[in-house]
Structure 1
Amino acid sequence: MDQQALVEYRYRAVREVLGGSPIGEVAARYGVSRQSLHSWRKRFEQEGMPGLADRSRRPKSSPHRLPAEVEALVCELRRQHPRWGARRIVHELRPRGVDPVPGRATVHRMLVRNGLVRRQEQEHQRKYRRWQREAPMHLWQLDLVGGVPLADGRECKMVTGIDDHSRFVVIAAVVAVPSGRAVCSAFTAAMRRYGVPFEVLSDNGKQFTGRHNRPQPVEVLFARVCRENGINQRLTKPRSPTTTGKIERFHKTLRHELLDHVAPFESLTAAQDAIDAWVHAYNHQRPHQALNMATPASVFRPHAPTYSDGQLLADEAGQTAAPLRIDVIEPPANRPDESAVEFEIRVPPSGEVTLVPGRQRFSVPRGLAGRTLTVWADLRSLHVLLEGHLVRTIVSRLLPHDLAYLVMRYGAHPAGPAPAAAALRRINGNTELAAGEAVEIDRIVQRDGHVTIAGIKCQIAFALARRTITIRLDGHLMHAIADNALVGTWPCPITADRAARLPGARTAATPLPPPPLPAGSIRVQRRVHASGRFMVNKQFIKLGPRHAGKLVTVVIEDTHYRVLHGEEELAIRPRRDTTPVTRLYVRGKGTQPDGR
């Protein structure tokens, strides 16, 4: 209803009251209260028709309203910094001389009133389980992020790391190639500057973990650096980015405030300098809402003095602490182990050779008494050789000072590459397998196609009878290797601790070889019956009536059958009887096998 119509409506009601109609009946008929009708009549008698129009309800005075200068300053801060919210603006008002400082809700209402806040529709309520370490240096979150453009057209990536408690950025290194060695170099540089954290948390990228490697898990360089520095490595669940939410949120801030607004950098060095300057402001100047508007640098406490451009930074009191030595183990280079030594020793009549009294000894057959052996030794393995031929490999119990003793006692000299695969590791004084480590043993296949492992018969293949093969025990799997080819895989019959104590067990030094070509498999031909079935090795295989009359080729593998029609693979069926196939009987015209 417009203003003119509203005035006419109220005038009719007032005229009826002035004409003598009861005020209660008029109020009920017009749908208003008696008080409103009294007010209209009084205003009509005093001002006439203009008095029936709506009036402003704004109070004549607002003693608690903030000055217009404060509201203008709030709006100006919002326009200059569109990403600042009400809480950040409240924090920035006090240094600008505003007193008293308005509350967060008051500032938010100012922004809404001036059209500086856009309402966001929330489709669903997000519920996250929030967590935070209780002190700095307890946990670092690490990740890789892209989006650093260069003038030559390349897009580099960054290795980033943030302290979980203080949100202090400890790593922000630009790398041309995000390799495992580049990640480890940035990580060790951060540890030398700030100290070694207790734990690190990352996603399941190949630079951080090898547990998803195929065909078997491996220990990547980053995991080795963590293990050798005593750092507990934690990994997120697959497809769970919220677990590393702090480092992901830092990436968003980095993109919005820097990377989205810069031109391509001239070089990798220029990109690193720009990011270092922004990160310094992020750590030392930019207040963080999760820290109650404190800066990350004011909360972060490293385990060692921090350095900037090679100079030790002074603490808050202006005093410089004495430099602390941080033993960070660098990523190993691709060269022979520099701690390994090599020397010669003569076998005594007893065959018992003592290298370090009370710590390391080994035995050889007495027939070698008086012969000279060559010993290759490091902190993990001892390889004993006779005239260049490996006699045995045993687990080393030597410590670093024992290697120095061997140099003085036997004239040991730095050794070259290891002559054989390393021995099994010693964990807590016992020979055990490390996580993801596999062992190999050599066994002779018996006449009926089986080998014996820890007293357990394991069927391998009848065709390998009387041959020596390599058995690789890898966690819950057992692989058989012959002629440098994988001939079969089965469930491992023994546990890992028993595998470490098998006679002749050694560390797997080479990757698992590929399986042999399918051409070596046993193949037979069968004619599909009108019912869509046929039989091979006393087992019915059903293909369906649409394949009736076809002459198919059946490839007999160790655990399944593959049915082929020309080059097309029709089906794969598991074998119910996995005993070796030594003879094939075929009946029917045109169904002779390829081999018997």
Structure 2
Amino acid sequence: MPARSTINAILDRAGLVTKEPRKRPRSSYRRFVYARPRDCYQIDGTTITGLPLGRVCVIEVLDDCTRTLVATRACWAETTADAIAAVNTAIADYGAPAIVLSDNGTAFATIGRRGGTQRSRFAQNLDRHGVRLIHSSPYHPQTCGKVERHHQTFTKWLTASGHQPETMEQMQAVCDEYQARYNTQRWHSAIRATPAAAWAAAPSLGGPTSLPAQADASIYAVRVDQSGRVWMHGTSITLGRARTGQTMTVVIDGLHANVHDHDGHHLGHLTLDRDRRNQGQLIA
């Protein structure tokens, strides 16, 4: 029997083999990042084990643009109360962001109730600061990847430092030491500076009074009209008449659009067709 390579060559000459498309070059990938400090804070908790005080959680709040660690809180578990305390510390020390990005953990997400939903205390706290909450979702370019990767940096430093905290107070002191060192001493390859230097060098800051800026994406706060659509520069996306009057956050990265409701939930996505005025219904 002929070798597989010989069979493929024969089929190729006969036009019976469809060649695989070339892989997308790495140079074509863009780093999705907000343009200004305080455009977006990412928040997430990580579990630390193997310490004398036992199993603990560290909630970290990271500025998306500069990678500045704007808050770090040691606690026993990722609770709503501790998440609120962490983000409030970030706001007190660095100012309120335009949006906060979190996962769908119980400390952050809206609670389902019979006959409806109850907005989470974490979201309500952000409302008081004028901050919009968005949850990371599939097909959403603004994932919590930066803060999740940062957890690894922290745990590696903690192991190498030799710190062995025996109380929660000692653990918080360790977190505070790490935050100061990370922001002022660690050179970050993605921003080509230390986080503190990148923040200080920024020409302007974001915040609740302005939509977050993107170098490679557009973000819109748009109201659903009576026909159940949202419009951006003459292009519409259909959400349904049941959402008439609601304000949505639409993130457009190239030809990919994602829509989030007021509670930060990801409603769906679609690929835009520039030749169409009406883009049709979202893909959930």
Letter in 1 for 2:174: A
Q: Supply the distance in 2 between the matched residues of 1:225 and 1:196 (Cα, whole angstroms).
A: 12
Report what 1:250 is aligned to.
150
1:130 matched to 2:31? The reply is yes
| Distance apart, 1:259 and its partner CA | 3.8
| Distance apart, 1:160 and its partner CA | 0.5
Distance verdict in 2 for CA 1:218–1:276, change over 3 Å: same
Distance verdict in 2 for CA 1:207–1:270, change over 3 Å: same
Deviations 1:105-152 (A, max 9, x none): xxxxxxxxxxxxxxxxxxx99896521111111111111111155424
Correspondences of 1:101-116 after superposition (within 5 Å):
none
Report what 1:225 is aligned to.
125
Q: Supply the distance in 1 between the matched residues of 2:141 and 2:35 (Cα, whole angstroms).
A: 22
Letter in 1 for 2:153: T
Q: Supply the distance in 2 between the matched residues of 1:260 and 1:242 (Cα, whole angstroms).
A: 31
> TM-score with structure 1 length normalisation?
0.28
1:166 matched to 2:59? The reply is no
| Distance apart, 1:178 and its partner CA | 2.0
Distance verdict in 2 for CA 1:295–1:263, change over 3 Å: closer
Report what 2:87 is aligned to.
187
Deviations 1:239-275 (A, max 9, x none): 9798122112211111222246646421111111112
The answer as to whether partners of 1:137 and 1:302 remain within 8 angstroms in 2 is no
Distance verdict in 2 for CA 1:135–1:265, change over 3 Å: same
Correspondences of 1:53-92 after superposition (within 5 Å):
none
Q: Supply the distance in 1 between the matched residues of 2:57 and 2:195 (Cα, whole angstroms).
A: 24
The answer as to whether partners of 1:136 and 1:300 remain within 8 angstroms in 2 is yes
Q: Supply the distance in 2 between the matched residues of 1:249 and 1:495 (Cα, whole angstroms).
A: 38
1:298 matched to 2:172? The reply is no
Letter in 2 for 1:147: I
Q: Supply the distance in 1 between the matched residues of 2:121 and 2:98 (Cα, whole angstroms).
A: 18
Report what 2:213 is aligned to.
none
The answer as to whether partners of 2:61 and 2:86 remain within 8 angstroms in 1 is no
Correspondences of 1:457-496 after superposition (within 5 Å):
none
Deviations 1:48-100 (A, max 9, x none): xxxxxxxxxxxxxxxxxxxxxxxxxxxxxxxxxxxxxxxxxxxxxxxxxxxxx
Distance verdict in 2 for CA 1:175–1:250, change over 3 Å: same
The answer as to whether partners of 1:195 and 1:302 remain within 8 angstroms in 2 is no
Distance verdict in 2 for CA 1:160–1:128, change over 3 Å: farther
Q: Secondary structure of the equivalent of 1:186?
A: helix
Distance verdict in 2 for CA 1:496–1:128, change over 3 Å: closer
Q: Supply the distance in 1 between the matched residues of 2:76 and 2:138 (Cα, whole angstroms).
A: 26
How much is the aligned-residue C-alpha RMSD, in angstroms?
3.2
The answer as to whether partners of 1:141 and 1:164 remain within 8 angstroms in 2 is yes
1:207 matched to 2:107? The reply is yes
| Distance apart, 1:496 and its partner CA | 7.5
Gapped runs of 5+ residues in structure 1?
A: 1-123, 304-475, 477-493, 499-596
Q: Supply the distance in 2 between the matched residues of 1:239 and 1:214 (Cα, whole angstroms).
A: 26
Report what 1:142 is aligned to.
43
Q: Secondary structure of the equivalent of 2:144?
A: helix
Deviations 1:458-491 (A, max 9, x none): xxxxxxxxxxxxxxxxxx9xxxxxxxxxxxxxxx
Q: Supply the distance in 2 between the matched residues of 1:272 and 1:243 (Cα, whole angstroms).
A: 27
The answer as to whether partners of 1:283 and 1:296 remain within 8 angstroms in 2 is yes
Q: Supply the distance in 2 between the matched residues of 1:274 and 1:496 (Cα, whole angstroms).
A: 47
Deviations 1:376-406 (A, max 9, x none): xxxxxxxxxxxxxxxxxxxxxxxxxxxxxxx
Greater relative contact order structure (CA < 8 Å, 6+ sep):
2
Count, aligned residues: 183
Q: Supply the distance in 1 between the matched residues of 2:139 and 2:50 (Cα, whole angstroms).
A: 27
Report what 2:189 is aligned to.
289
> TM-score with structure 2 length normalisation?
0.57
Distance verdict in 2 for CA 1:251–1:240, change over 3 Å: farther
Deviations 1:227-247 (A, max 9, x none): 221112111115979812211
Report what 2:165 is aligned to.
265
Distance verdict in 2 for CA 1:495–1:232, change over 3 Å: closer
Correspondences of 1:361-376 after superposition (within 5 Å):
none
- Larger-gyration structure (1/2): 1
Letter in 2 for 1:243: T
Q: Supply the distance in 2 between the matched residues of 1:245 and 1:190 (Cα, whole angstroms).
A: 19
Distance verdict in 2 for CA 1:193–1:263, change over 3 Å: closer
The answer as to whether partners of 1:137 and 1:301 remain within 8 angstroms in 2 is no
Q: Supply the distance in 2 between the matched residues of 1:141 and 1:217 (Cα, whole angstroms).
A: 24
Q: Supply the distance in 2 between the matched residues of 1:251 and 1:240 (Cα, whole angstroms).
A: 21
Q: Supply the distance in 2 between the matched residues of 1:243 and 1:497 (Cα, whole angstroms).
A: 28
Q: Secondary structure of the equivalent of 2:169?
A: helix
Q: Secondary structure of the equivalent of 2:190?
A: helix
Correspondences of 1:306-385 after superposition (within 5 Å):
none
The answer as to whether partners of 1:149 and 1:156 remain within 8 angstroms in 2 is no
